[in-house]
């Protein structure tokens, strides 16, 4: 379990903060002041107070927590080292649509990675951003690990994604697409880092068919996208029944199985020459999106060349962040090195197990935020580290 140190940030309590954080006279400490700048579009009348701060020492895992004051600053006394910093809070945001003024609370986030903190005094200014506003569609469960048979063999055909209507109105699933990152989060270099704040680069696109209103999903209900929509317990006692799936991705290959009772997704693109299966360690990241025009127009507009290690090129597609409806960054604590998603889409990441077999038969599932008139509302702060339960039993179609 990680140790947590809470630092008081008000100037009047600075002495208490210093004495509570200094644990070892043989260790060098830094008086660190963090200041935040709100997004420019929020205007000058919104205060920068009340922003939650979490500072994690990347070597020993010690966490310091605090909150900005009226000046948008917070002060900590930290052991010298390398730190990751996450910031989040809620602020009122006003926007003029035509002649009408709308105001609502929005989530504000910020992130600093691999910050070297040393010397007696250090300050850092962080620019915050408004998280992308979702449409109501969220990933409820991502089951990417597969399972093991009673004999101990790996079984991958029972993977699925569950997409949930987190809004209070009927939504139509027609045209919803899923994408998987070309980038692997266990790699330290993201080839697409220069466009990460503009677009997500995908290596697969599977789309729900329909003309626009063929697949209504009620508030508080979900759809299940399966690899193979069959009762897997008939061939693997450690699996479960996915014959209830709404859709399946089918690759028309000898290694794949087509369940005739389950509607196939439209396969627009896959990097694989055979079949696609999500990475069973969770080294890829996933998005839900819907193109603004036709898919043919999208593919023509957003194709991008990938330079392979041997100098050849292959095709990938960049999905503008602005049309992404939900996004989940995945990795494992022992292997995560770099993000596939902009921090505006997902500020952190979630995982299923680590460098062992504990992941098999487990999933990541979104946490419940509230129950409104019997309808589950799932947590969606665009921070998967706090939005998801990790390494839990799959519960497709169960809302709690």
Of 130, 159, 184, the domain-final residue: 130
Of 130, 155, 172, the domain-final residue: 130
pLDDT score at 274 = 95
What is the distance between the alpha carbons of residues 138 and 376, in angstroms, rounded to a whole number?
A: 12
End-to-end CA distance of the chain: 27
Of 80, 100, 130, the domain-final residue: 130
* Backbone φ, ψ for residue 44 (5° rounding): -100, 0
- Please tell me whether residue 72 adopts helix, strand or coil conformation: coil
What is the distance between the alpha carbons of residues 191 and 339, in angstroms, rounded to a whole number?
A: 11
| R_g of the chain, CA atoms, integer Å | 23
Cα 143 to Cα 124, 147, 275, 281, 283, distances in angstroms: 39, 10, 17, 11, 13
Contact criterion met (CB below 8 Å) for 109 and 382: yes
Is 166 part of a structural domain of the chain?
yes
Overall number of domains in the chain = 2
Residue ranges of the chain with per-residue pLDDT less than 50 = 1-23, 97-98, 100
Is 36 part of a structural domain of the chain?
yes
Contact criterion met (CB below 8 Å) for 359 and 281: yes
Residue-range definition of the domain harbouring residue 249? 137-392
- Please tell me whether residue 58 adopts helix, strand or coil conformation: coil
- Please tell me whether residue 103 adopts helix, strand or coil conformation: strand
Is 144 part of a structural domain of the chain?
yes
Q: Mind listing the pLDDT tens digit for each residue in 170-227?
A: 999 999 999 999 999 999 899 999 999 999 999 999 999 999 999 999 999 999 999 9
Q: Mind listing the pLDDT tens digit for each residue in 355-398?
A: 788 899 999 999 998 888 899 999 888 889 889 999 999 999 99
How many Cα atoms sit within 13 Å of 250 on the Cβ side?
Answer: 18
Q: Hunting for tokens 């790996």 — which residue is that?
A: 154
Is 295 part of a structural domain of the chain?
yes
Is 399 part of a structural domain of the chain?
no
Residues 319 and 184 in one domain: yes
Which residues, in sequence order, are CB contacts of 72 under 8 Å at separation 6+? Answer: 35, 36, 37, 38, 47, 48, 49, 51
Residues 353 and 219 in one domain: yes
Contact criterion met (CB below 8 Å) for 220 and 368: no
Is 217 part of a structural domain of the chain?
yes
Residues 95 and 166 in one domain: no
Contact criterion met (CB below 8 Å) for 66 and 51: no
* Backbone φ, ψ for residue 194 (5° rounding): -75, -15
Residues 100 and 167 in one domain: no
What is the distance between the alpha carbons of residues 374 and 381, in angstroms, rounded to a whole number?
A: 21
Residues 315 and 232 in one domain: yes
Residues 99 and 165 in one domain: no
Residues 121 and 204 in one domain: no
Q: Hunting for tokens 């002495």 — which residue is that?
A: 15
Residues 258 and 205 in one domain: yes
Is 400 part of a structural domain of the chain?
no
Residues 219 and 296 in one domain: yes
Residues 163 and 41 in one domain: no
Is 397 part of a structural domain of the chain?
no
- Please tell me whether residue 11 adopts helix, strand or coil conformation: helix
Residues 123 and 143 in one domain: no
What is the distance between the alpha carbons of residues 275 and 255, in angstroms, rounded to a whole number?
A: 7
Residues 115 and 257 in one domain: no
């Amino acid at each position: 379990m990680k140790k947590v140190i809470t630092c008081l940030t008000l100037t009047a309590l600075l002495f208490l903060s210093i004495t509570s954080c200094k644990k070892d006279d043989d260790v060098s400490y830094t008086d660190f002041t963090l200041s935040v700048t709100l997004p420019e579009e929020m205007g000058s009348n919104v205060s920068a107070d009340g922003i939650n701060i979490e500072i994690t020492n990347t070597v020993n895992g010690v966490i310091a927590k605090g909150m900005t004051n009226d000046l948008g600053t917070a002060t900590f006394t930290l052991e010298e080292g390398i730190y990751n910093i996450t910031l989040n809070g809620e602020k009122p945001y006003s926007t003029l649509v035509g002649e009408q003024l709308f105001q609502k609370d929005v989530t504000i986030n910020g992130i600093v990675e691999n910050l070297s903190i040393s010397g007696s005094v250090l300050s850092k200014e962080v620019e915050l951003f408004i998280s992308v506003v979702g449409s109501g569609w969220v990933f409820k469960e991502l089951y990417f690990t597969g399972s093991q048979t009673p004999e101990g063999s790996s079984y991958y055909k029972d993977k699925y994604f569950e997409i949930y209507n987190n809004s209070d109105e009927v939504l139509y699933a027609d045209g919803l697409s899923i994408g998987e990152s070309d980038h692997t989060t266990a790699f330290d270099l993201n080839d697409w880092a220069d466009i990460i704040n503009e677009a997500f680069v995908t290596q697969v696109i599977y789309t729900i068919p329909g003309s626009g209103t063929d697949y209504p999903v009620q508030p508080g209900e979900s759809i299940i996208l399966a690899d193979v929509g069959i009762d897997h317990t008939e061939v693997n006692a450690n699996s479960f029944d996915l014959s209830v799936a709404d859709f399946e991705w089918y690759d028309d290959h000898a290694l794949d199985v087509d369940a005739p009772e389950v509607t196939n997704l439209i396969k627009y693109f896959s990097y694989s020459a055979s079949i696609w299966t999500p990475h069973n360690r969770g080294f890829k990241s996933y998005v839900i999106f819907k193109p603004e025009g036709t898919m043919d127009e999208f593919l023509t507009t957003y194709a991008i060349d990938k330079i392979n290690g041997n100098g050849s090129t292959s095709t990938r597609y960049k999905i503008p962040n602005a049309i992404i409806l939900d996004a989940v960054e995945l990795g494992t604590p022992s292997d995560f090195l770099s993000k596939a998603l902009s921090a505006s889409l997902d500020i952190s990441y979630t995982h299923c197990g680590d460098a062992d077999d504990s992941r098999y038969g487990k999933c990541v599932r979104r946490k419940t935020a509230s129950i409104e008139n019997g309808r589950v509302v799932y947590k969606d702060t665009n921070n998967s580290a706090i939005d998801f339960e990790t390494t839990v039993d799959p519960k497709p179609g169960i809302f709690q």
